[in-house]
Structure 1
């Protein structure tokens, strides 16, 4: 197979798994700066670590310090959706 065809197959597989819910957009690392905010999907959140880095306000995470923070997201029934990792740089 050519590399173009393999790349196209990979793209379709990625979209397919994303549509199935196997790949969540929250399972990525987000580089942000102090004062920036990020709107999160899901019903409930819990800071796993980095409470000096991120502040939760509704479904918005606001960066308040430098470092790394992780926020776990939950469905309304309590099942885990994924983990947001926020990396706040200078």
Structure 2
């Protein structure tokens, strides 16, 4: 019985030491804690009487150019030839993602 207890104790000790060694090998890569994500601005051409879905962002705001485009959610509709119109895109946390400058052209 004493030999069995000693064998089990040694096995448990070996497992716990092995677990501690593998936990020490964990490393995090690709994380830059001081990196600041800056807003990205973009230009886009939209055809007259056509729709274009803004690919990024979770909310959008029409800043200028409602004469040239209409905005419904993330869908821009080209109303009149010309521009520029500006749409501001936001991330899900409310931070600015960037401003889209949109020009409407004939197809």
TM-score w.r.t. length of structure 2: 0.55
In structure 2, distance between residues paired with 1:23 and 1:75: 10
* Structure whose alpha-carbon radius of gyration is higher: 2
1:33 maps onto 2:47 in alignment: yes
In structure 1, distance between residues paired with 2:88 and 2:39: 15
1:59 maps onto 2:78 in alignment: no
TM-score w.r.t. length of structure 1: 0.64
Q: Superposition RMSD on alpha carbons, in Å?
A: 2.0
Q: Identify which of 95, 98, 102 aligns with 1:79.
A: 95
Runs in 1 of length 4+ with deviation above 2 angstroms? 21-24
Which structure is richer in relative contact order (CA contacts within 8 A, separation 6 or more)? 1
In structure 1, distance between residues paired with 2:42 and 2:89: 13
- Give the secondary-structure state (helix, strand or coil) at the position aligned to 2:63: strand
Unaligned 5+ runs, structure 2: 1-36
